[in-house]
Amino acid sequence: MTDHYFSADPSAPFTREPFTCQVWGQRLDLVSGAGVYSRGHLDIGTAVLFRETEPPEPGQVLDLGTGYGVIGLGVAAAWRVRGVPAGAGSGVTGVEVNQRAVLLANENARRLGLADRFGASTPDQVPGEATYDEIWSNPPIRIGKQALHDLLLHWLARLRPDGRAVMVVGKNLGGDSLQAWLTVQGYPTTRIGGAKGFRVLEARAGASSAG
Protein backbone atom coordinates (compact mmCIF):
# COMPACT_ATOMS: atom_id res chain seq x y z
CA MET A 1 0.00 0.00 0.00
CA THR A 2 1.28 3.48 -0.81
CA ASP A 3 2.56 5.43 2.19
CA HIS A 4 1.26 8.90 2.97
CA TYR A 5 2.70 11.61 5.19
CA PHE A 6 -0.14 10.83 7.62
CA SER A 7 0.95 7.18 7.96
CA ALA A 8 1.97 6.38 11.53
CA ASP A 9 5.17 4.63 10.44
CA PRO A 10 6.13 5.36 6.80
CA SER A 11 8.23 2.70 5.08
CA ALA A 12 10.19 5.07 2.79
CA PRO A 13 13.90 5.23 3.68
CA PHE A 14 14.38 7.83 6.40
CA THR A 15 16.61 10.49 4.89
CA ARG A 16 16.81 13.93 6.51
CA GLU A 17 16.69 17.12 4.42
CA PRO A 18 17.52 20.51 5.96
CA PHE A 19 16.04 23.78 4.76
CA THR A 20 15.50 27.34 5.96
CA CYS A 21 12.31 29.38 6.03
CA GLN A 22 11.02 32.68 7.36
CA VAL A 23 8.22 32.53 9.93
CA TRP A 24 6.74 35.80 11.22
CA GLY A 25 10.03 37.53 10.50
CA GLN A 26 12.15 34.86 12.19
CA ARG A 27 14.57 32.57 10.39
CA LEU A 28 14.03 28.90 11.23
CA ASP A 29 16.64 26.34 10.23
CA LEU A 30 14.71 23.09 10.11
CA VAL A 31 15.27 19.48 9.15
CA SER A 32 12.52 17.64 7.27
CA GLY A 33 12.61 14.10 5.95
CA ALA A 34 11.25 11.46 3.61
CA GLY A 35 7.77 10.28 4.53
CA VAL A 36 6.92 13.59 6.21
CA TYR A 37 4.68 16.30 4.75
CA SER A 38 6.35 19.16 2.86
CA ARG A 39 9.84 17.72 2.76
CA GLY A 40 12.55 20.29 2.08
CA HIS A 41 10.34 23.36 1.80
CA LEU A 42 7.61 25.38 3.46
CA ASP A 43 4.35 24.41 1.78
CA ILE A 44 2.20 27.13 0.21
CA GLY A 45 -0.73 26.75 2.60
CA THR A 46 1.40 27.16 5.72
CA ALA A 47 3.21 30.11 4.12
CA VAL A 48 -0.19 31.74 3.55
CA LEU A 49 -1.15 31.04 7.17
CA PHE A 50 1.94 32.87 8.42
CA ARG A 51 1.50 35.75 6.00
CA GLU A 52 -2.13 36.33 6.93
CA THR A 53 -1.79 36.13 10.73
CA GLU A 54 0.18 37.32 13.73
CA PRO A 55 1.60 34.96 16.36
CA PRO A 56 -0.84 34.04 19.13
CA GLU A 57 -0.62 35.53 22.58
CA PRO A 58 1.24 33.49 25.20
CA GLY A 59 -0.77 30.57 26.54
CA GLN A 60 -1.27 26.89 25.89
CA VAL A 61 -1.24 26.26 22.12
CA LEU A 62 -1.80 23.03 20.22
CA ASP A 63 -0.16 22.58 16.82
CA LEU A 64 -2.47 19.96 15.30
CA GLY A 65 -0.74 17.84 12.65
CA THR A 66 2.57 19.45 13.49
CA GLY A 67 4.69 17.59 10.91
CA TYR A 68 8.32 18.51 11.58
CA GLY A 69 7.07 21.34 13.77
CA VAL A 70 7.14 24.48 11.67
CA ILE A 71 3.94 26.13 13.00
CA GLY A 72 4.51 25.30 16.64
CA LEU A 73 8.19 26.21 16.49
CA GLY A 74 7.27 29.47 14.79
CA VAL A 75 4.97 30.27 17.71
CA ALA A 76 7.63 29.35 20.27
CA ALA A 77 10.29 31.39 18.46
CA ALA A 78 7.98 34.43 18.33
CA TRP A 79 7.39 34.22 22.08
CA ARG A 80 11.12 34.00 22.76
CA VAL A 81 11.80 37.10 20.68
CA ARG A 82 9.08 38.94 22.63
CA GLY A 83 10.75 37.99 25.89
CA VAL A 84 8.00 35.65 27.07
CA PRO A 85 9.55 33.38 29.74
CA ALA A 86 9.59 29.66 29.03
CA GLY A 87 6.93 27.92 31.09
CA ALA A 88 4.94 30.44 33.14
CA GLY A 89 1.70 29.03 31.78
CA SER A 90 2.79 29.14 28.14
CA GLY A 91 3.86 26.31 25.88
CA VAL A 92 3.25 24.66 22.53
CA THR A 93 2.25 21.03 22.09
CA GLY A 94 2.67 19.50 18.65
CA VAL A 95 0.50 16.45 17.99
CA GLU A 96 1.17 14.14 15.05
CA VAL A 97 0.44 10.53 14.09
CA ASN A 98 3.56 10.24 11.94
CA GLN A 99 6.31 8.98 14.24
CA ARG A 100 9.08 10.28 12.00
CA ALA A 101 7.54 13.72 12.12
CA VAL A 102 7.40 13.62 15.93
CA LEU A 103 11.08 12.70 16.02
CA LEU A 104 12.03 15.49 13.60
CA ALA A 105 9.89 18.09 15.39
CA ASN A 106 11.55 17.38 18.72
CA GLU A 107 15.00 17.35 17.10
CA ASN A 108 14.22 20.72 15.51
CA ALA A 109 13.08 22.10 18.87
CA ARG A 110 16.34 21.06 20.51
CA ARG A 111 18.42 22.40 17.62
CA LEU A 112 16.66 25.78 17.81
CA GLY A 113 16.89 25.96 21.59
CA LEU A 114 13.10 25.79 21.90
CA ALA A 115 12.67 22.45 23.65
CA ASP A 116 11.61 24.26 26.83
CA ARG A 117 8.72 25.84 24.91
CA PHE A 118 7.70 23.15 22.40
CA GLY A 119 7.25 19.39 22.54
CA ALA A 120 5.75 17.01 19.99
CA SER A 121 4.04 13.69 20.67
CA THR A 122 1.58 11.22 19.20
CA PRO A 123 -2.11 11.68 20.07
CA ASP A 124 -2.15 8.87 22.63
CA GLN A 125 0.65 10.60 24.56
CA VAL A 126 -1.34 13.80 25.09
CA PRO A 127 -2.88 13.88 28.59
CA GLY A 128 -6.64 13.45 28.45
CA GLU A 129 -7.23 16.47 30.66
CA ALA A 130 -5.09 18.87 28.57
CA THR A 131 -6.92 21.93 27.23
CA TYR A 132 -5.72 24.78 25.04
CA ASP A 133 -6.16 28.50 24.53
CA GLU A 134 -5.54 28.15 20.80
CA ILE A 135 -5.21 25.43 18.18
CA TRP A 136 -3.20 26.14 15.04
CA SER A 137 -3.23 23.80 12.08
CA ASN A 138 -2.74 23.07 8.43
CA PRO A 139 -5.04 20.07 8.81
CA PRO A 140 -4.58 16.82 6.85
CA ILE A 141 -7.47 17.33 4.44
CA ARG A 142 -6.53 14.31 2.34
CA ILE A 143 -7.32 11.80 5.09
CA GLY A 144 -10.95 12.08 3.92
CA LYS A 145 -13.91 14.16 5.01
CA GLN A 146 -15.23 11.90 7.77
CA ALA A 147 -11.80 11.28 9.26
CA LEU A 148 -11.06 15.01 9.13
CA HIS A 149 -14.34 15.85 10.82
CA ASP A 150 -13.70 13.31 13.56
CA LEU A 151 -10.18 14.68 14.05
CA LEU A 152 -11.30 18.29 14.32
CA LEU A 153 -14.19 17.57 16.67
CA HIS A 154 -11.92 15.56 18.95
CA TRP A 155 -9.37 18.33 19.33
CA LEU A 156 -11.65 21.36 19.13
CA ALA A 157 -13.40 19.97 22.20
CA ARG A 158 -10.10 20.68 24.02
CA LEU A 159 -10.42 24.43 23.48
CA ARG A 160 -10.89 26.49 26.61
CA PRO A 161 -13.81 28.92 26.83
CA ASP A 162 -13.02 31.96 24.66
CA GLY A 163 -10.38 29.88 22.85
CA ARG A 164 -9.99 29.69 19.09
CA ALA A 165 -8.61 27.53 16.32
CA VAL A 166 -6.76 29.01 13.34
CA MET A 167 -6.53 26.80 10.25
CA VAL A 168 -5.49 27.08 6.63
CA VAL A 169 -7.44 25.06 4.08
CA GLY A 170 -7.36 25.02 0.28
CA LYS A 171 -10.51 26.40 -1.31
CA ASN A 172 -10.52 23.55 -3.84
CA LEU A 173 -10.17 21.09 -0.94
CA GLY A 174 -13.32 22.28 0.78
CA GLY A 175 -12.28 25.36 2.71
CA ASP A 176 -15.64 27.08 2.33
CA SER A 177 -17.70 24.01 3.16
CA LEU A 178 -15.50 23.31 6.19
CA GLN A 179 -16.16 26.83 7.45
CA ALA A 180 -19.92 26.24 7.24
CA TRP A 181 -19.68 22.79 8.82
CA LEU A 182 -17.64 24.01 11.79
CA THR A 183 -20.18 26.74 12.46
CA VAL A 184 -23.02 24.22 12.45
CA GLN A 185 -21.04 22.07 14.91
CA GLY A 186 -21.00 24.92 17.42
CA TYR A 187 -17.69 26.55 16.52
CA PRO A 188 -18.56 29.87 14.84
CA THR A 189 -16.04 30.16 12.03
CA THR A 190 -15.02 33.16 9.96
CA ARG A 191 -12.54 33.69 7.18
CA ILE A 192 -9.75 35.96 8.42
CA GLY A 193 -7.50 35.85 5.38
CA GLY A 194 -6.52 34.01 2.27
CA ALA A 195 -4.32 33.94 -0.81
CA LYS A 196 -3.20 31.61 -3.59
CA GLY A 197 -6.34 29.49 -3.36
CA PHE A 198 -6.17 29.03 0.43
CA ARG A 199 -8.56 30.14 3.16
CA VAL A 200 -7.40 31.08 6.65
CA LEU A 201 -10.22 30.24 9.05
CA GLU A 202 -10.79 31.17 12.68
CA ALA A 203 -13.13 28.92 14.66
CA ARG A 204 -14.25 30.15 18.07
CA ALA A 205 -14.97 27.89 21.01
CA GLY A 206 -18.68 27.40 21.48
CA ALA A 207 -20.96 25.43 23.72
CA SER A 208 -19.15 22.22 22.81
CA SER A 209 -15.75 23.39 24.10
CA ALA A 210 -14.03 22.21 27.24
CA GLY A 211 -15.01 24.11 30.33
Integer Cα distance of 45 and 22 in angstroms: 14
Integer Cα distance of 199 and 186 in angstroms: 20
Residues in Cβ contact with 25 at an 8 Å cutoff, skipping those fewer than 6 apart: none
Angle separating helix axes 44-51 and 70-81, nearest 10 degrees: 30
What CATH code is assigned to 42-204?
3.40.50.150
Range in 45-49, 77-81, 144-148 the model is least confident about:
144-148
Summarize pLDDT for 148-203 with one digit per residue, the tens.
999 999 999 999 999 999 999 998 767 689 999 999 999 999 999 999 999 999 99
Q: Which of 48, 40, 38, 50 is nearest to 77 (CA)?
A: 50
Mean pLDDT of 72-84: 97
Residues in Cβ contact with 83 at an 8 Å cutoff, skipping those fewer than 6 apart: none
Integer Cα distance of 131 and 160 in angstroms: 6
- Which residues are 99's β-sheet partners? none
For residue 9, what are the CA distances in angstroms to 98, 118, 180? Answer: 6, 22, 33
**Quick check: 210 pLDDT over 90?**
no
Instruction: State percent of the chain over pLDDT 70.
Output: 91
> What pLDDT, on the 0 to 100 scale, is given for residue 104?
96
> What pLDDT, on the 0 to 100 scale, is given for residue 207?
52
Mean pLDDT of 12-16: 76
Kindly compute the dihedral angle of the four CA atoms of residues 100, 106, 111, 117, in this order, to the nearest 10 degrees. 160
**Quick check: 29 pLDDT over 70?**
yes
